[in-house]
Amino acid sequence: MLFRRLFRGALLMGGVLAYSSQAFAVAESAAPSLTIPPGARANGMGEAYVAVADDATAAWWNVGAMSFMKNRNLSFMYSPLVPDLASDVNYQFLGYTSPAGKSGVWGLHLIYLSYGKSIATDTEGNTLREFTSWEGGLAASYGMTFGDNVGVGISLKYIRVALAPADVTQDNVEGSGSSFAVDVGSMWKLPKQHVNVGLAVTNMGPDIAFIDREQSDPLPFTGRLGVAYTPLHDDVSNLIVTADIEQSLVWLIAGNNPDGSSPQRRSEIWHGGFEYRYVNLLAGRVGYVYDKDGDFNAATYGLGFIYKDKLSLDYANVPQAKDLERVHRWSITFTF
């Protein structure tokens, strides 16, 4: 019986896991596609967006924030992940939100993470064939307000991870798995103080099992608390200052480690940033991500071009792990 091995796929997956600024959670959980933050605007602000989210990415960041949206919104983001390793490894996000009158706001979003093409070989190193590994997710969201200042929401999502087809694995078992998850979120607006407070808990759901339940991995169960302050807002200038605290909650639901010990709780990731808009036409963004356990401490920055509050083209430059190049992220948002 031929023994088939996957070498390029393993290399690329390692690069993607190292890339994520939330690598502390990915190291303990499956489906890293759920941890890659969408929206170049949010990325440029240091990924501190849970109390800001006001576009179609809100369902990912904080579904409670989606409750305050007054117009339909369509957002798309594309990002290469490890351009120094492979050009076909990328992440894509597509989201849509729509008010439903007094009934609230509903939304849909899709995520897709491509690991690119890998090569299966036999024990002698002979090439058998190429195959593609990927992850994908589909989520439906709903949010509503209570009074003028409080919004809450919920998302239901389905996740599929397809690492390898059965004919390229040693045991002829398909290397894929799926699960579902729930996100909940809330937003509290203090208009007189120009402050928003957001809270989101994401990816609550069953483990993903690729072969059997004994080899399952938990989803990246995460909590995030954020605050945003707008000290300047007039016809010429708009300034937002924002900060988030992110905590992996995998240790709350994970079982004991193979040696019988309990999973270790990891430290928080801190996110901070600001955005300055000039005449609602040009935006500049700077942020910082601090992850003590993940040894990830770096700045982010970005730009945005806005046209009549209807179209926004955003760019962000974000860091990866120490040995990987920074990556460029682009997103486009339509409001109608």
Task: Compute the mean pLDDT over every residue in the chain, rounded to the nearest whole number.
Answer: 86
Q: How far is it, in rounded angstroms, from Cα 317 to Cα 309? A: 23
pLDDT at position 36, please? 95
User: By C-alpha distance, which of 61, 72, 81 is closest to 15?
Assistant: 81
DSSP 62: -
- DSSP assignment letter at 67: G
Tell me: the pLDDT tens digits for 179-201? 999 999 999 999 999 999 999 99
Residue-level pLDDT at 173: 74
Structure tokens at 78: 């594309």
Q: Which residues have a Cβ under 8 Å from the Cβ of 315 and sit 6 or more positions away?
A: 40, 44, 302, 303, 304, 328, 329, 330
Do 111 and 32 touch, CB atoms closer than 8 A?
no
What phi, psi does 43 have (nearest 5°)? -65, -40
Cβ-contact 30, 160 below 8 angstroms: no
**Rounded to an integer, what distance in angstroms lies between the CA atom of residue 40 and that of residue 330?**
6
- pLDDT tens for the 336 residues of the chain, in order: 333 333 344 444 444 544 444 443 444 568 899 999 999 999 999 999 999 999 999 999 999 999 999 999 999 999 998 887 788 899 999 999 999 988 899 999 999 999 988 787 777 777 778 888 999 999 999 999 999 999 999 999 999 999 888 777 777 777 789 999 999 999 999 999 999 999 999 999 999 987 666 668 899 999 999 999 999 999 999 999 999 999 999 887 665 555 555 556 777 999 999 999 999 999 999 999 998 887 678 999 999 999 999 999 999 999 877 677 889 999 999 999
pLDDT at 227: 98
Tokens (6 digits) for 294? 């993940």
CA atoms within 13 A on the CB side of 108: 2
Residue labelled with tokens 């499956």: 30
At 27, the amino acid letter reads: A
Question: Domains in the chain, start-ordered, CATH in brackets?
Answer: 5-335 (2.40.160.60)
Distance between CA atoms of 122 and 293, rounded to whole angstroms? 38
- How far apart (Å, rounded) are the C-alpha atoms in residues 256 and 324? 33
User: CA dihedral in degrees (268, 46, 180, 107; nearest 10)?
Assistant: 140
State how far Cα 294 lies from the chain centre: 17
